[in-house]
A and B are shown apart, each in its own frame.
Chain A
Amino acid sequence: MPAVLRRLLADLLEKGLVDAVLTPRPAPGGGNLAQALVDKPALLADADPVAPVMPVQSARILSALTAGGAPYRLAAVLKACEVRAAVELAKLKQVDLGRVVLIGIDCLGTYEPNDYAALVAAGQDPTAHALAAAAAGAVTPLAGAAFREACQMCEQPIAEGCALSVALLGGGGQALVSGAAELLEVLGYPEAPEPAGRAVAVAALVAERTATRDCMLGEVRARVHDMDGLLAEFGRCIRCYNCMTACPICYCKECVFRSATFDHAPAAYEGWLHRHGALRLPADTLLFHLTRLNHMSASCVGCGVCSSACPNDLPVAQLFRAVGREVQALFDYHPGRSLSDELPLAVFREDELGDVAR
């Protein structure tokens, strides 16, 4: 971890700005990282918030720690998509940002957790590689490895709207802390100019990712443009609900798919059998994905943990991003951009959508 970032986390605790820090740290047993809640500066020595891996969507962790109001002041180091998910969850009243200092760091890409562990086991240092590439203004995986597909097409790698931001990209190896003036004053950090190479590096990365996004989403659209294509792509779904469990937006405590609503009586299957002649089981897999699209795609932040969680490698994230973008465009909605953007399904305009109903 860059010394600047380690000092920042320790300063936040030692100068009494927060009572605890949420940051990735090596998991017990090594080989991977886990989010850790830390209140002793000494235990931050091996924190690694830059590491190119996202074992869980930390917005879910933030929800567990703050829903209904955090009992203590908390600083959370999050990647850009985790910040966006936290903002969405705050609007959904599942996260309370009142006593939270969000620290956004430039996202240097993430590997699948198992790939990350394999790289570490092979003696590689993914964090050092990521920092070296970022210093030169690039976000690239280690030779022979690949980032998660959601990261390859992520055009929003820079966290926006955080109380503090840590710039890594294009800084020539320097990490720059910027943010709210009152925090910087207590921390004793001087206002520093943005590194000269940063704007160019960010613009180049965003342009490259946008092109990749359009290409990947175009491919998934071509494959899933009709029901036969959708069935072909999602025919391997075993309805394990991993995608829903990992998704930061799917927070409902009483999800319709966890309820008994679709626990059909044996006689119901018999009725369908006679009507269709054959019955695909488990039933309702397509219903599950189409319903989840209806329920959460307006707030989909594109983090891709759904795809990472899928045991059968279904293109869940690609489909949800492709369709989610169209849904969001209906209301010119940008998930995670701002707390003041209203959730599309929480508000309405009297004068809108005249073509939908009459």
Chain B
Amino acid sequence: MAEDFQPRIIAFLCNWCTYAGADLAGTSRLQYPPNVRIIRLMCSGALDPVYVLKALLEGADGVFIGGCHPGDCHYQNGNYKARRRVAILKKILEQTGFDPDRVWLRWISASEGRLFADTMTELVETIRAKGPNPLRGQWGM
């Protein structure tokens, strides 16, 4: 059963950095696990936690948020604001009994295709080790 488990990961990627980094990983023909479903955003700071929560409550095994390195935000400081929001989100998940380490926030630039592929591999293997989202078995929230 454990070997059959294929994590489903939702990734919210900033248009200006991590999304381009994912594109570079692809055009560079770097291999990474196909468990990641990518949603492009204009900025990590534009992500309302409601969409992370929706993914988790629907049974996503992990959520990844990719933004620009500190100081590199296309909109000056959206990534810093994203970091505060994610800190609050993780605290709330922890307080309500949900594993906050299923949500990852990472800074990956447009030139870091290799880092993107490596990070996705690390994420998928970490989530695979954690096992399925316990809410998967629930009858819909």
Contact = CB atoms under 8 A, between A and B. Distances in A.
Contacts of A294: 49-50, 53, 85, 88-89, 92
A229 B54 CA distance: 19
A285 B138 CA distance: 14
Interface stretch (B19-27, B33-41, B94-102): B94-102
Contacts of A192: none
Contacts of A273: 140
Interface string A284-295: 111100110111
Interface in A262-293: 272-273, 275-280, 283-287, 290-291, 293
Contact of A276 (B67, B80, B84, B138): B138
Given A256-B48, A276-B139, A350-B80, A290 B87 contact: no
A297 B89 CA distance: 11
A356 B92 contact: no
A265 B99 CA distance: 30
Tell me what chain B mostly uses at the interface: helix, strand, loop, or mixed: helix
Nearest to B103: A356
B90 interface: yes
A323 B140 contact: no
A356 B105 contact: yes
A180 interface: no
Contacts of B88: 294, 297-298, 327, 330, 344-345
The 4 closest A-B pairs by CB, nearest first: A226-B97, A278-B139, A348-B80, A357-B105
Interface of B: 48-50, 53-54, 57-59, 67, 70-71, 77, 80-81, 83-92, 95-98, 105-107, 134-135, 138-141
Interface of A: 221, 224-231, 256, 261, 272-273, 275-280, 283-287, 290-291, 293-295, 297-298, 322-323, 326-327, 330-331, 344-345, 348-350, 352-353, 356-358
